């Protein structure tokens, strides 16, 4: 008998009607000769409301109490889902993260999973129960409730699938899968059938918010394949897995856009050891997330360092930089908001030469100016004017043949 | 150092602002050289919303899952309260019913407390924590979450006060205490300083919904005195305790009205054994709550049986009665809705003769017709026309001198 872990996010259990639909799908899966573990998030909006309440009673809520508070969202959703399954004539039981054997470290609100003891789940599965587990949470060695941070339910599902040695892990969400580009930007964007963990990681980092990176990293580390699919429709989704040889036939798996970025350049930075460290320590002390960092080739004995941030952080970043720029005796700072990052991702570029050139030429033909370039082994990212972003995505998508059909046939 | 258990109901923690006010009061109590245990209900409205959701996903929700679901309301409120205390500079920790050591039987949704192991609470109190316990819940011998039924948080507080051998148990609510009559009906109704458990029980049964009878019965059984007081004001409330000798000086402690009652009379009931049993079995099979039951003196070999129910149950009760009336060969059924029950309660009536006569004469002088009479050792209840109810309460309240001052001086 196959064992399937299905994870349902907040919108998938966002109303009584949606919960009944999830229950129906769980039962159908069981009737298809499967043992079923469901991992459930809090109903859409519940977690945000609880966080709002917490900040109304306390400016800096105690982390232990905040975890207890937030965990109630998943407890309620799992109890409701189990009821709904029972009402439809099957057998279900809900478990908290602790009851499911999810042991974490003690880091409240951002706990790491330390170990999973799936014995209780296995016993219930052997008695034909559909086991409904609260995602996003676990318990510390002392038995305190912990939460795994935003997107933690994906992580719960993948970790449980690994610990149970499940035959499949299905991540149900409100999109049909992973796409070659955001379908709102590029009309003929296609659902991708299969994606390598590394590609999905680079896409997540590039603004395609299908899954949290942590969950994908965990899946990669423990070799847990999973499928991202829609809880609203019935078709297959996108399978994320280790890369296979034929995946390399595809040059580019997808195109992503990150909007509302700002670019900061520090000019005339003395080309000596420790200078970059001082600049980025100052920024990280303000808990500002820096994305691309590019250091230009030195001209004489100074260099230029550019990086991108979210444009809402621009003013604060400039303020944090001012004393550092004086200390390191840089010549000045220039900044520009209203830029976007355009990325192409694909493990195929490792074995195909000229991908970067083709990408840049395509943008050049479109008259789109490239302001910064940064590359990794399987990703090329450029910063361009935000006004050009949509057109640049369409041109790139077309150039790499992503729209004609699913990715498998686009290579040339 | 004194140990105080304070219980706050749903309206007392009904908003972030109210939760901060509760936290403030807990801290003031601790600064007054006390160890403090708070028992908290779910925020007003939360439990009803969860019950509604449950019935939307399942017509008959699984009891185990319903208990898990409802318990989240108290978990959230306790976590928020503990955060609020911490934010104000004191130390608090929240505990679920299970963590607080509240062991119950296995009867989901109506569990009985079997035992309380307060060791964990005592350890936390010794470390100067304000301990915030989720009311209304416990755990079964197998570790399943159980709930105690409506009003269960009062029971949690009194049971914890008993197990901890607390110096005081304060039940905070949205009224100032127990009154000689409903102040909306009788303008000069007075707050009662002290009431015997038995009086409070009779008053609760007579429509004065200050505390659930189960909690008062528990307090009586284990001799746990408690005080009912307002979380919105600062004055003292009403202390419920075992009766003391001087309590008997007060003839009548209070006057209560139960409105929207209906009276049913079965005429010509054969005066033989087992007949009353058959009548009330039929009604209880429909889960209809019967209040007063009066059997008239037999006339010949038949008798008349009257009883009261809530008027919303009248049609269904008549339907349930029809076959029984035929079977037992009674001559007929008459019914009347729009009646009210007026009760006077006081342990003083045990040692004062003529209370009933004085009560009936008072109503007679007011031209108020008495339709049924039922008495217990410390209560006299009459059924009257609902249109007369308010005036009857005022006349009775005046007759027994309840309005002049607090009860202590009204005897004569």
Number of A to B CB contacts under 8 A, please give it: 105
- Which of residues B127, B147, B174 is at a domain's end? B174
Within a domain: B289: yes
Length of chain B (residues): 412
Q: Could you report the per-residue pLDDT of B98-121, keeping only the tens digit for each?
A: 999 999 999 999 999 999 999 999
Within a domain: A310: yes
In angstroms, what separates the C-alpha of B150 from chain A's closest C-alpha?
19
Q: Domain with A62 in it: what CATH number? A: 3.40.1160.10
- The set of residues, in sequence order, having a beta carbon less than 8 Å from that of A124 and lying 6+ positions away, is A93, A95, A131
B79–A66 CB contact, under 8 Å: yes
- The set of residues, in sequence order, having a beta carbon less than 8 Å from that of A266 and lying 6+ positions away, is A279, A304, A305, A306, A321, A325, A330, A332, A333
A20–B57 CB contact, under 8 Å: yes
Within a domain: A100: yes
- Which of residues B138, B154, B174 is at a domain's end? B174
Q: Could you report the per-residue pLDDT of B38-51, keeping only the tens digit for each?
A: 999 999 999 999 99
Query: Measured between alpha carbons, how far is A78 from A39 in angstroms, rounded to an integer?
Result: 8
Cα dihedral A385, A390, A392, A393 sign: positive
A57–B83 CB contact, under 8 Å: yes
Question: Beta strands of A81-209 (E only): which ranges?
Answer: 92-95, 102-104, 113-116, 130-134, 137-139, 145-147, 168-173, 194-196
Q: Which of A50, A56, A62 faces B86 most closely, judged by CB atoms? A: A62
Q: Which of A58, A78, A83 faces B54 most closely, judged by CB atoms? A: A83
Q: Which residue of B has its CA nearest to A94?
A: B65
**Within this chain, do residues A117 and A262 fall inside the same structural domain, yes or no?**
no
Residues of A with CB below 8 A from B87's CB?
57-61
Report the candidate in A139, A241, A234 with the shortest Cα–Cα distance to residue A200. A241
What pLDDT is stored for residue A411 in this prediction?
39
Under a CB-based contact definition with an 8 Å cutoff, are residues B248 and B350 in contact?
A: yes
Within a domain: A314: yes
In angstroms, what separates the C-alpha of A78 from chain B's closest C-alpha?
8
Mutate: best of A45, A68, A96, partner B, most B CBs <10 A = A68
**Within this chain, do residues A25 and A145 fall inside the same structural domain, yes or no?**
yes
Within a domain: A364: yes
Query: Measured between alpha carbons, how far is B383 from B374 in angstroms, rounded to an integer?
Result: 9
Within a domain: B9: yes
A65–B82 CB contact, under 8 Å: yes
Report the candidate in A190, A181, A177, A164 with the shortest Cα–Cα distance to residue A239. A177
Q: Which helix (H) or strand (E) holds A309?
A: strand A302-310
**Within this chain, do residues A25 and A169 fall inside the same structural domain, yes or no?**
yes
Mutate: best of B21, B43, B68, B140, partner A, most A CBs <10 A = B68
What is chain B's mean pLDDT, rounded? Answer: 92
The yes-or-no verdict on residue B206 having pLDDT over 80 is no
What pLDDT is stored for residue A410 in this prediction?
40
Q: Which of B19, B58, B64 faces A87 most closely, judged by CB atoms? A: B58
What pLDDT is stored for residue B208 in this prediction?
62
**Within this chain, do residues B258 and B168 fall inside the same structural domain, yes or no?**
no
Within a domain: B80: yes
Structural domain span for residue A288: 254-403
**Within this chain, do residues B157 and B13 fall inside the same structural domain, yes or no?**
yes
What pLDDT is stored for residue B326 in this prediction?
92
pLDDT band at B163 (very low <50, low <70, confident <90, very high): very high
Beta bridge partners of A195: A240
What pLDDT is stored for residue A408 in this prediction?
43
Which letter does DSSP use for residue A297 in this model? P
Which letter does DSSP use for residue A247 in this model? G
Q: Which residue of A has its CA nearest to B46?
A: A76
Q: Which of A23, A58, A81 faces B83 most closely, judged by CB atoms? A: A58
How many separate domains does chain B show?
Answer: 2
Which residues of B fall below an 8 Å CB-CB distance to A?
A: 16-17, 19-20, 23, 50, 53-54, 56-62, 64-66, 68-69, 71-72, 75-76, 78-84, 86-87, 93-94
- The set of residues, in sequence order, having a beta carbon less than 8 Å from that of B29 and lying 6+ positions away, is B4, B6, B36
The yes-or-no verdict on residue B405 having pLDDT over 60 is no
Query: Measured between alpha carbons, how far is B230 from B227 in angstroms, rounded to an integer?
Result: 10
Within a domain: B195: no
**Within this chain, do residues A164 and A261 fall inside the same structural domain, yes or no?**
no
Query: Measured between alpha carbons, how far is B222 from A354 in angstroms, rounded to an integer?
Result: 85
Q: Which residue of B has its CA nearest to A22?
A: B57
Under a CB-based contact definition with an 8 Å cutoff, are residues A33 and A2 in contact?
A: yes
Under a CB-based contact definition with an 8 Å cutoff, are residues B198 and B347 in contact?
A: yes
Stretch among A344-353, B371-380, B399-408 having the lowest mean pLDDT:
B399-408
Beta bridge partners of A171: A7, A228
- Which of residues A174, A201, A223 is at a domain's end? A174
Q: Domain with A357 in it: what CATH number? A: 3.30.2130.10
Residues of A with CB below 8 A from B50's CB?
76
Give the CA count within 13 Å in the CB-facing half-sphere of A149. Answer: 13
Q: Could you report the per-residue pLDDT of A226-275, keeping only the tens digit for each?
A: 999 999 898 999 999 999 888 888 889 999 999 999 999 999 898 888 88
What pLDDT is stored for residue B410 in this prediction?
40
Mutate: best of A57, A100, A137, A140, partner B, most B CBs <10 A = A57
Q: Is A61 helix (H, G, I), strand (E, B) or coil?
A: coil
What pLDDT is stored for residue B409 in this prediction?
40
Residues of B with CB below 8 A from A53's CB?
16, 80
Residues of B with CB below 8 A from A60's CB?
87
- Stretch B260-277: mean pLDDT, rounded? 89
The strand order across the sheet containing A302-310 reads A293-295, A302-310, A254-270, A332-345, A379-385, A372-376
Report the candidate in B242, B239, B335 with the shortest Cα–Cα distance to residue B283. B335
In angstroms, what separates the C-alpha of A137 from chain B's closest C-alpha?
15
Could you report the average pLDDT of every consecutive run of 10 residues in chain A (412 residues)? 96 97 98 97 96 97 97 98 98 98 96 96 98 98 93 94 96 91 91 94 74 90 95 92 87 92 92 86 88 79 90 93 92 94 93 90 94 91 95 96 61 38
Under a CB-based contact definition with an 8 Å cutoff, are residues B171 and B7 in contact?
A: yes
Q: Which of A16, A50, A94 faces B53 most closely, judged by CB atoms? A: A16
**Within this chain, do residues B269 and B391 fall inside the same structural domain, yes or no?**
yes
Mutate: best of A44, A58, A70, partner B, most B CBs <10 A = A58
**Within this chain, do residues A154 and A283 fall inside the same structural domain, yes or no?**
no
**Within this chain, do residues B168 and B265 fall inside the same structural domain, yes or no?**
no
Q: ipTM value of the model?
A: 0.84
Under a CB-based contact definition with an 8 Å cutoff, are residues B104 and B42 in contact?
A: no
């Amino acid at each position: 008998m196959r064992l399937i872990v299905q994870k349902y996010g907040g919108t998938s259990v966002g109303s009584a009607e949606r919960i009944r639909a999830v229950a129906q799908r769980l039962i159908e899966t069981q009737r298809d000769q499967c043992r079923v573990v469901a991992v459930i998030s809090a109903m859409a909006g519940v977690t945000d409301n609880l966080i709002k309440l917490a900040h109304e009673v306390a400016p800096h809520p105690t982390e232990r109490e905040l975890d207890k508070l937030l965990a109630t969202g998943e407890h309620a959703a799992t109890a409701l889902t189990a009821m709904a399954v029972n009402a439809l004539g099957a057998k279900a039981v809900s478990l908290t993260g602790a009851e499911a054997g999810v042991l974490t470290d003690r880091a409240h609100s951002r706990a790491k999973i330390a170990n999973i003891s799936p014995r209780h789940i296995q016993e219930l599965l052997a008695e034909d129960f559909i086991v409904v587990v609260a995602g996003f949470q676990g318990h510390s060695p002392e038995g305190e409730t912990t939460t795994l941070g935003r997107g933690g339910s994906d992580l719960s599902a993948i970790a449980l699938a690994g610990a149970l040695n499940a035959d499949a892990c299905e991540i149900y969400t409100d999109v049909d899968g992973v796409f070659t580009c955001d379908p709102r930007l590029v009309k003929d964007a296609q659902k991708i059938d299969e994606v390598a963990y590394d590609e999905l990681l680079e896409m997540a980092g590039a603004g395609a918010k299908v899954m949290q990176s942590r969950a994908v990293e965990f899946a990669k580390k423990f070799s847990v394949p999973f499928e991202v699919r829609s809880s609203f429709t019935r078709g297959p989704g996108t399978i994320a897995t280790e890369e296979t040889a034929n995946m390399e036939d595809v040059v580019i798996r997808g195109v992503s856009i990150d909007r509302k970025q700002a670019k900061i350049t520090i000019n005339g930075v003395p080309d000596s050891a420790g200078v970059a460290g001082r600049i980025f320590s100052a920024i990280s002390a303000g808990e500002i997330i820096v994305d691309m960092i590019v250091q230009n080739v030195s001209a004489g004995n100074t260099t230029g360092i550019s990086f991108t941030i979210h444009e809402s952080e621009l003013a604060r970043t400039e303020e944090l930089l001012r004393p550092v720029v004086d200390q390191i005796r840089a010549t000045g700072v220039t900044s520009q908001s209203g830029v976007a990052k355009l990325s192409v991702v694909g493990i195929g570029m490792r074995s195909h030469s000229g991908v970067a050139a083709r990408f840049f030429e395509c943008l050049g033909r479109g008259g789109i100016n490239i302001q910064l370039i940064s590359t990794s082994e399987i990703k090329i990212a450029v910063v361009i004017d935000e006004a050009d972003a949509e057109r640049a995505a369409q041109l790139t998508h077309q150039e790499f043949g992503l729209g004609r059909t699913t990715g498998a046939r686009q290579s040339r």
